[in-house]
Each structure stands twice: as structure tokens, then as C-alpha cells.
């Protein structure tokens, strides 16, 4: 019996005498697998990024479309479009041509659209008898000192609301700084912060001069400006052929992108005379253009590859190539120049 048992060797369950021993991957095999995975990831990432950008671009277009809907709802309710702003306290007085307002409110007209953008509670929080920010002083060049009428009271109440970030006024493709800080030149006050917007009214950077819109020639007038009063019948070039809102980047080199609630130094709107995605500026030595950061305030542009989004006066959103002729863009920015132009 002892001899018989010694002829057998104990094996774990499931094993047999003929089963080969297992072995792991060799180092070379592991490196090959890792290399293959790296190549696949490299091929996949651009596709993922394209899908993300396509979704972000679609969301951005929807934001602008909703702005257009709000714009036309405002016109239906009041009989005219909102101004790009009201009572700029920082604009340049140049008598007798450009005359400032008796009181400064520093209102961005986007505030007037809030009830039509599902922001009625925020809208009701404002006191429109008071200014939106403290700006009533020039900050540049030889224009130092009070340049317009005094503030219409204390801006503290309204300034406290300006840090609210409104998602529908921000482009998801733009990862720039979303607030302006508390500086006296660009913030609503020295205490409160201001939230930016990627979308602004199509205006002229000449709104740097007080009430420029009111004295601009009719054939070179945009739909919006300081204290503008435009009706749909004034848009003689057609609402489908006239820009109402344009996209801009959150970060710019010279000046600042506008806040959605107030106007401060050089926050005039988007001027089509600079084209789209103009990153240039007379930079100091050692610095240069950064794609995605517009060279200066008042320019149209975006982080969408190849162009930017716009809202037409009829409420439709359009993506416009950065290679579009500047003259064509300028004509599309004017509402009654008589030029029969359409986007390609």
C-alpha cells in the first residue's frame, strides 16, 4: 500500500500532469502594448477635441440666437431696440459735437434684455434710478478728470450685482478670465467685482466719444450705440443682412472685454471695422500676438477655429470666417448704408 501511494503526486484541483506552466508578458511585449495604446490615444484625442469644439460652437451659437430672440422680444414690447448703453460717465466730451449726458449711469443695454433671457429675478434686483458703476473719469492720454455729468447717485447697490456670471453670456470655448476685478478703471467699484460677457452689441469704437451714435451719419450708423434708439424700420439693409451682436474674447491685450452689466473705460461694444480674429497690436519688444487673445478692445473674435459667431438682427446666429473681407464686414455692421451685401 505504501508503495502504491508513493506513485501519485498531489495536484491542485483543475490541474493535470500535462498542463504547461504559465508565464507573464515579457518587457518587450509590455512596451509594444504601451506604444500601441499611446498611438491610439494620439489618434483619438484630436477627434475628441473636434467633437468637444463642435458641441461648444453649437452651444455658443444657441447663446447668440437666444440673445437675438430676447432682442426682438424687447422690440415687440417697447417699439424699439435697447441701446448699447446709457449715460457713459467715462466717455470723452468734445464740444460741441460730442456732448455728454447730464448724469452718468454707465448702463450696458444687455441688462435691459435680462427679463427675456430667463433672468427676471436678477433684473428686478436693479435700481435703474442709480448708476451701474462708478466710472465718470477718463483714464488715458490727455483725458484725465471728469469728462461727463456726475453719477446719478451711489453705484453701490447695482455694483454689488455685477459679479453674477450669466452662463448664456459666456462662450464655452473661451477659458479666459471671466471677471474684471475691482479696479477703478474697469470694475464696477473699488469694492465689487464685475463679470464679463463674450457677446456684445455691434457698435463703433468711436463711442469712446460721448453720444457718438446720435451724430453719426445714417449711412454709417450701427444698430446700437450710447443712448441709441433704433426701430426695425431703421434697419433698411434688412434684418437678415445686419449684425446685431458679435463675439469677442474674454482676454484682450489692450483695454478690457466688456462686463455684461455696466460700461467702463473703453467698453464700447464690437466694431466690425477691425475684421475678425485680429490678434495684432504694437506690442513692446519681446512680446507678440497670442492667438485667442484679441489685440485690443472693441474687436470681434473667438477661440473657435477659423472665425467667430454673430447674431443677425433677425435673431439668426451665423459663424463667419476670419478671412471675410473687412469692407464686407463693415457694411454688414451698418444698418442703412444701402450696400446690397450678404454673407457667403
Domain contains 54:
no
Nearest in space to 224 (alpha carbons), one of 109, 329, 112? 109
Domain contains 25:
no
pLDDT tens-digit map of 234-271:
999 999 999 999 999 999 999 999 999 999 999 999 99
Q: What pLDDT score does 208 carry?
A: 86
Domain contains 245:
yes
Q: Enumerate long-range contacts of 139-143, CB under 8 Å, 24 or more apart.
A: 139/90, 139/184, 139/185, 139/265, 140/265, 140/266, 143/92
pTM: 0.85
User: pLDDT at residue 80 above 80?
Assistant: yes
Domain contains 36:
no
Domain contains 248:
yes
- DSSP strand pairing (294-296 vs 252-254): parallel
Q: What pLDDT score does 18 carry?
A: 54
Domain contains 66:
no
User: pLDDT at residue 65 above 50?
Assistant: yes
**What is the band of 14 on the pLDDT scale with cuts at 50, 70, 90?**
low
User: pLDDT at residue 10 above 60?
Assistant: no
Least confident piece of the model among 18-27, 147-156, 188-197: 18-27
Site of grid cell 492720454 = 141
Domain contains 21:
no
Count structural domains, the chain. 1
**What is the band of 53 on the pLDDT scale with cuts at 50, 70, 90?**
confident
Domain hosting 253: range is 81-333
Domain contains 92:
yes
Amino acid at each position: 500500500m505504501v508503495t502504491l501511494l508513493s506513485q501519485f503526486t498531489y495536484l491542485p484541483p483543475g490541474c493535470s500532469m500535462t498542463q504547461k506552466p504559465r508565464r507573464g508578458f515579457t518587457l518587450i511585449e509590455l512596451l509594444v502594448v504601451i506604444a500601441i495604446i499611446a498611438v491610439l490615444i494620439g489618434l483619438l484625442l484630436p477627434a475628441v477635441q473636434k467633437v468637444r469644439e463642435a458641441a461648444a460652437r453649437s452651444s455658443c451659437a444657441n447663446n447668440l440666437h437666444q440673445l437675438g430672440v430676447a432682442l426682438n422680444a424687447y422690440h415687440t414690447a417697447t417699439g424699439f431696440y435697447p441701446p448699447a448703453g446709457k449715460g457713459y460717465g467715462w466717455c470723452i466730451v468734445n464740444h460741441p459735437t460730442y456732448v455728454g449726458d447730464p448724469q452718468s449711469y454707465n448702463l450696458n443695454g444687455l441688462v435691459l434684455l435680462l427679463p427675456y433671457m430667463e433672468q427676471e429675478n436678477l433684473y428686478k434686483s436693479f435700481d435703474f434710478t442709480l448708476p451701474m458703476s462708478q466710472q465718470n473719469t477718463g483714464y488715458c492720454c490727455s483725458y484725465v478728470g471728469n469728462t461727463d455729468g456726475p453719477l446719478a447717485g451711489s453705484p453701490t447697490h447695482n455694483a454689488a450685482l455685477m459679479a453674477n456670471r450669466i452662463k448664456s453670456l459666456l462662450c464655452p470655448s473661451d477659458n479666459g478670465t471671466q471677471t474684471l476685478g475691482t479696479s477703478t478703471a474697469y470694475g464696477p467699484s473699488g469694492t465689487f467685482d464685475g463679470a464679463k460677457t463674450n457677446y456684445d452689441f455691434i457698435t463703433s469704437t468711436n463711442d469712446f466719444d460721448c453720444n457718438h451714435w446720435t451724430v453719426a451719419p445714417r449711412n454709417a450708423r450701427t444698430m446700437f450705440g450710447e443712448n441709441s434708439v433704433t426701430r426695425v424700420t431703421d434697419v433698411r439693409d434688412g434684418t437678415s443682412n445686419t449684425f446685431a451682436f458679435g463675439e469677442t474674447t474674454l482676454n484682450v491685450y489692450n483695454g478690457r472685454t466688456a462686463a455684461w452689466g455696466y460700461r467702463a473705460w473703453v467698453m464700447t461694444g464690437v466694431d466690425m471695422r477691425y475684421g475678425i480674429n485680429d490678434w495684432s497690436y504694437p506690442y513692446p519688444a519681446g512680446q507678440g500676438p497670442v492667438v485667442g487673445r484679441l489685440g485690443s478692445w472693441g474687436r470681434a473674435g473667438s477661440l473657435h477655429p477659423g472665425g467667430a459667431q454673430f447674431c443677425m438682427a433677425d435673431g439668426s446666429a451665423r459663424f463667419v470666417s476670419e478671412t471675410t473681407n473687412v469692407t464686407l464686414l463693415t457694411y454688414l455692421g451698418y444698418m442703412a448704408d444701402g450696400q446690397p451685401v450678404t454673407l457667403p
